[in-house]
Structure 1
Amino acid sequence: MVGVRENHARLRYLLLGGCGSGMSALAEILTDANHILTGMDQSISAACQPPFLPHADVEWLPWSETLSSSVDADVCVFSPAVGRRSPLVQQAVARGIQVQSLHECLVNVYKARQQLCVAGTHGKSTTTAMLSWVLESCGRAPGCFIGGRQIATQRSGQLGQGQHVVLESCEFNRSFLTFSPAVGVLTGIERDHFDCFPNQDDEDAAFVEFAQRISSDGVLIYRSDCRRSRAVARSAACRTASFSLDSSGIDWNVSETKLDAAGSHFQLQPRGRRSLTVTLSVPGRHNIANAVAAIAAAAEVGVAPEEAAAALAGFRGVHRRFERRGVYHGMVLVDDYAHHPTAVRETLRTARQVFPNQRIVAVFEPHQVVRTRSLFLEFAEALQMADEVLLLPVFAAREHVARRECCRLSGDLVRQLNERGTRAFLFAGIDQILSRIDYSGKPSDVLLTMGAGRTNLIHDELNRRLQRHSVA
C-alpha cells in the first residue's frame, strides 16, 4: 500500500486559477498530503470571496498581474484557464519557482499509483465519481480527481492510501495525454472543444493517442454503440472490453432497463459471468451507461461486479448533475451542468421521466460562441423538449468575443426555437430570469437550469430568498 504522503517533503504550492473545479480538487489532494497552499483566482476580489472548500486548506490572495514578492512557493501550478503563457507563470519561472500544469502536478503526486483514467465527451465526472465510490466502498482507499463534487462526501479530490487513483481525463488541450493509464475508460466521443480541435480527425487522433498510452498489459473499456469509440478501440495495443445499452454480443450487456422517478434498474450480463440486477438512485438512461463503465473498470482491479453493484446502490450523485436544489413556492428546482446538445437532450429526457406530468421550464446559458455556432441546430432540436426556454447570452468563457455577439447568437437560438413552436425568451442576465420566475412561475413547474457557467447561481438566490422569508 502507498503511504498517505507518498514520502514527499512538505512543499509550498501556489495555485493559479485555484477556484476552478479541477484546481479545487487538486487543493483537496495537496491538503491531504499536508502541503502548504496559497491560491489566486480572477474571481476573487474585495466584493467576491473565495469558495468554501471544507476539505482544502488554502490561503487565498486577490488576483494581480504581478506576483507579489511576499508570495513564497516551491511549486506554481496553473489551471488550463490560466495557461503557461500567463504573466504570473512567467514571473514564477523567472523567480526560480518550479512550474507545473494541473495535470503535470497530478502525475507527480500519483506517480507511484496505478491510474484508472476516465475519458470521453460525456459522463466523465459521474463515471469517475462512481468508480471512486465503488473502490472506496470496497475498501480500496483510492485517490481520486473528479471534475465535480460528490454529494455524499462533498469532495472532488482525495489523496487516498491505496494503490489506485481514479482520474477524470479531459481531452481539452489534450491534457489527458499527460496520464499513463493501467485502465482506460472511453464513455463515447462527439465533436466538442472546437477551440482545441479544428476538425474531427484531429479530435479522433487525440483519443487514439490516449488509448495508445494505456499500458500493454492494461485494458481499454469503451462504449461499442459509439462508432468513433469503436475506431479508437481498434487502434489500441492493449486488451479491450466493450459495453453498450443497445447491443448484444459484447463484454458488458444491459437488458430489462426500467427508469422511474427514484432512479433506474437493469440487468447486467458480464461476458462469462452470471447476470446481476443493478439499482441506481440517480435517474436517467445516461447514468446506466456511466454505472456499467464503472462496474467494468472496477472488475479490472479485482472488484466483483456484485460488490460494485451493491456499492452503487448508495451512490448519491455529483453536484450540478441533475441535482435537486429544493422547492421554491411549489416549483421544483433542478440544476445540471449540461452544455452540449447531447447532454441537454439527455437532461431534458430525464426530467420528463422524473416529472412526467409537470411543465418543464428550462433556463439555458450556452457555453462558448464557437460551440454554439457549430452545434446551433443540434441545440435547437434538444431544447425543443422543454415546454418553455429562458435563454441567457452565450457565456464566452476563455473566448475574446464582444458581448453583443453573445447576445445576438442567443437571440438567433430564441428565434429558431419559436419558429419550431417552442416558447423561448432571451434575458440579459440572471436578475431578469429571477424576475421572470417570480412573475410567471407556477407551483407545479419544474425549473431546470443547464449550463457550464453561472446558471447554478439562480438556485443560490432563490434559496437565499426562502431563508430570508423563513427568518422574517
Structure 2
Amino acid sequence: MNLHSIKQVYLVGIGGIGMSGLARYFNHLGCAVFGYDKTETPLTDALKVEGMEVIFADDAALIPALFAEPNERTLIIFTPAIPKDSAILNYFKAAGFELFKRSQVLGIISESLFTVAVAGTHGKTTTSSLITHVLTEAGKDCSAFLGGIATNYNSNILYGNSNIVVVEADEYDRSFLTLQPDIAVITSMDADHLDIYGSHEQLTESFQLFASQVKAGGKLIAKQGLPLAHTFTSYTINTEAADAIAHNMRVQEGSFYFDFENGEVTINNIEMGIPGMHNIENAVAAIQVALYMDVEADAIKAALASFQGVKRRFEYVIRNERNVYIDDYAHHPEELKACIASVKKLYPNHKLTTVFQPHLYSRTRDFADGFAEALDMTDELLMLDIYPARELPMEGVDAHTILNRMKLQDKHLLNKQQVIEHVQAQQPQLLLTVGAGDIDQLVNPLKQALQHVE
C-alpha cells in the first residue's frame, strides 16, 4: 500500500476511538473519508462536523459509488470488533478489495517515523497522552494516535511537523505486533482479552514479541516486575529497586505531588495536573521517555502540571462544595482498584457511591472474583447489566455473577433510568461512574440529576 496514492478511505467501524483517529488522519491529508458504525455517538457527530460521511445502517446499498471496485486510490480499513456477518464488511470482501486492520495501517504510517509506542492492558492511554503532551510542550512537535480524547487538544490525534509519532499500541487481537518502535513502554500485562488469547500465558507471549520488536539501539521501558525476557528500564512508585521511581508522593490542596529519581536525574516537587497514584506511575514512564528524548527537566515538570487528562480517565464532571462526580473508563479489576483507591485517598471522609457497568460476558466470567474484590472497596454500588459489545449472552453469566461474590451489603442492580432516579433522590456527595460500554450515556443525565436540587 502506497499511502501517498490514497484518495478515498472507507472505515468499517469508524466510531471506535482508534478508527476515528485514522479517519481524522486521512481527512487531514485531504482524502474523501466515509464510514459505518452501529451507533451514533458524540464522536461520530464530530467526524461528520469535520467533513466525513458516516452511516449507521449495515446496508451495502448505502456505500458510495466511489467504492464500486478496487483500485490503488482506495483504502478499506476495518476493526476486528465488527461482526463477521456485517453486510458492509462482506461487500468489500466479495468485491475483491484488500482489507486492512487499523493496526496494519498504523504500522505502515509509523514505519518511517521515530516511533514511541505505549502498550499495556491498562494505563496506556493516559501514558501515551502524557508523553505526547510533554513532547509537544517541550517543542518536539510530534504526531500522535491516542486511545482517548486528550483534553488539552480535544482530540485523539495530533498532526506534528517532525518525524516523531506517539502511538498507543493495542494488545487486542495482537494489533501491536505491527509496530517496530524506537522507544516502547509496557505499563501492565494483567490477564485480559482471554476471549482472544485463551490464556494469560499467550497474552504474555504476545507482549514478549512486542518487546522484541523494538528497533536495534532503541529503548524498552516497563513497569517493574513485569515478566519480560528482555533488558528494560524499569519504573515504579514507592520503592528504590527500579531504575526510575516516584517517591515522596503526597496530596496538597487537592493536587498530587511527587519527586522523581532515576540515578542520573532528580526532579523534585512535581505537580500532577491530574489526580491518582496510578497516574503518578504513568507519569514516571512518561518522564523517562522524555529524558531519553533529551527533554529538559524543567520542561517536563511544567508540562506535567499543565496536563489536563483524557476524557473518561478520572475526569471530573462536577467538583464543587456540594458534590464531586468523577467518570472513568476502568473496566478491568486492577483498573477499578486503582481508580477507587485514588478517589478514596482524595476524599477520605466522603461516602463513595459507585455506578459500574461490566463490559463483556467473557471478562465478567473470567474476572468475577477480581471485580467483586475491587467493588467491595466502595461504600455503595449501583450495578448495571453487562454491556455485551461484540459478544452474545453466555449462559449463567450476568451482573449477579459479580454481585453474589461481593461482601458489600449496600449494592443494587438497576437499569439506567433507575440509576438516574436513585442519584436524583439521594444526591450522593461523592459519585463515581466506571465502565467501558455505553455508561458514558449516563454522564450528562447524572450531572443534571446532581445539579437539580428541589
Name the TM-score, length of structure 1 as normaliser: 0.88
**Distance in 2 between residues matched to 1:49 and 1:167, nearest whole Å:** 20
Residue 327 of structure 1 deviates from its aligned partner by: 6.1
Q: How has the CA–CA distance of structure 1 residues 42 and 7 changed in structure 2, closer, same or farther, with 3 Å as cutoff? A: closer
Does residue 401 (structure 1) correspond to residue 393 (structure 2)? The answer is: yes
Cα distance in 2 for residues equivalent to 1:173 and 1:266: 36
Partner of 1:248: 240
1:316–1:112 CA distance, 2 compared to 1 (3 A): same
Structure 2 partner of 1:462: 446
Asked if the contact 1:40/1:63 (under 8 Å) is kept, the reply is: yes
Following superposition, the deviation at residue 242 of structure 1 comes to 1.3
Give yes or no for contact 1:262–1:281 (8 Å, CA) kept in 2. no
Which range moved further: 19-28 or 215-224? 19-28
Structure 1 residues 262 and 24: alpha-carbon distance in aligned structure 2, compared to 1, 3 A threshold: farther
2:23 is aligned, of 27, 33, 38, to 27
Question: Equivalent residue of 1:396, what SS?
Answer: coil
1:435 corresponds to which of 421, 432, 436: 421
- The C-alpha deviation readout for 1:414-451, integer Å capped at 9, x for no partner, is 2333xx24310111x21111111122334xx2111000
| CA distance in 1 between partners of 2:426 and 2:125 (Å) | 34
Aligned to 2:404: 415
Q: Is the 8 A contact 2:36 2:57 kept in 1?
A: yes
Q: 1:54 to 1:297 in 2, by over 3 A?
A: farther
Q: Which residue of 2 aligns with 1:270?
A: 262
1:315-337 per-position Cα deviation (integer Å, ceiling 9, x unaligned): 01000011111269943221000
Q: Distance in 2 between matches of 1:62 and 1:85?
A: 16
Report if aligned partners of 2:381, 2:412 keep a CA contact under 8 Å in 1. Answer: yes
Which string of whole-angstrom CA distances, capped at 9 and with x for unpartnered residues, describes residues 346-397 of structure 1?
1111111222221110000111122112211211111111110000111121
Q: Which of 64, 68, 84 does residue 70 from structure 1 map onto?
A: 64
| Partner residue, 1:37 | 33
Q: 2 CA distance for matches of 1:316 and 1:327?
A: 15
Give, in whole Å, the separation in 2 of the partners of 1:388 and 1:66.
47
Conserved 8 A contact 2:333-2:374 = yes
8 Å contact from structure 1 (residues 170, 176) kept in 2: yes
Distance 1:7 1:449, change over 3 A: closer
Contact 1:18 1:41 in 2 (8 A): yes
Q: Tell me the residue number matched to 1:3.
A: none
Residue 110 in 1 paired to residue 110 in 2?
A: yes
Q: Is the 8 A contact 2:192 2:200 kept in 1?
A: no
**C-alpha distance in 2, partners of 1:263/1:163?**
35
Offset of 1:53 from its aligned partner?
4.1
Residue 171 of structure 2: aligned partner: 171
The one-letter amino acid of 1:28's match is R
What's 1:51 paired with? 45
Q: How does 1:281-360 map to 2 (within 5 A)?
A: 281-326=273-318, 330-360=322-352
Q: What is the rounded CA distance, in whole Å, between the counterparts of 1:295 and 1:49 in structure 2?
A: 30
What is the SS of the residue equivalent to 2:270?
A: strand
Q: What is the CA-CA distance between 1:275 and the residue it aligns to? A: 4.4
Equivalent AA in structure 2 for residue 151 of structure 1: T
> 1:106 corresponds to which letter in structure 2?
L
Tell me the CA shift for residue 260 of structure 1.
4.6
Q: CA separation of 1:252/1:50 partners in 2, compared to 1, >3 Å: closer, same or farther? A: closer
Number of residue pairs aligned between Structure 1 and Structure 2 = 446
- 246-255 or 64-73, which moves further after superposition? 64-73
Tell me the amino acid that sits aligned with residue 432 of structure 1: Q
Question: What amino acid is aligned across from residue 62 of structure 1 in structure 2?
Answer: F
In the alignment, which residue of structure 1 is the partner of 2:70?
none
Quote the offset at 1:85 in angstroms.
Answer: 7.1
Query: Who is 1:61 aligned against?
Result: 55
Corresponding residue of 2:14? 18
Q: Distance in 2 between matches of 1:156 and 1:313?
A: 20
Judged with a 3 Å threshold, the aligned counterparts in structure 2 of structure 1 residues 71 and 387 are, in CA distance, closer, same or farther, namely: farther
CA contact (8 A) 1:348 1:386 kept: yes
How far does residue 267 in structure 1 lie from its aligned partner after superposition? 1.1
Task: String of CA shifts for 1:267-318, please: whole Å, max 9, x gaps.
Answer: 1112223443321021111001100101111222222333222211100100
Contact 1:31-1:55 within 8 A present in 2 as well = no
What's the C-alpha RMSD, in Å, of the aligned pairs? 2.6
**What amino acid maps onto 2:11 in structure 1?**
L
- Cα distance change on mapping 1:250 and 1:439 into 2, 3 Å: closer
* Matched residue, 1:184: 184
| Residue 260 to residue 194, structure 1, CA distance change in 2 (3 Å) | farther
Over the matched positions of the two proteins, sequence identity in percent amounts to 28
CA distance in 2, matches of 1:83, 1:105: 20
Give the distance between the partners of 1:310 and 1:49, measured in 2 at CA: 30
Deviation of 1:52 (Å): 2.1
Which amino acid is the alignment partner of residue 40 of structure 1?
A: Y
1:203 aligned residue: 203
Give the Cα separation in 2 of the matches to 1:131 and 1:275. 17
Alignment-derived partner of residue 124 in structure 1: 124
| Correspondence 1:375 to 2:382 | no
Deviations 1:75-103 (A, max 9, x none): 11112311677543342244344421111
For normalisation by structure 2, the TM-score amounts to: 0.91
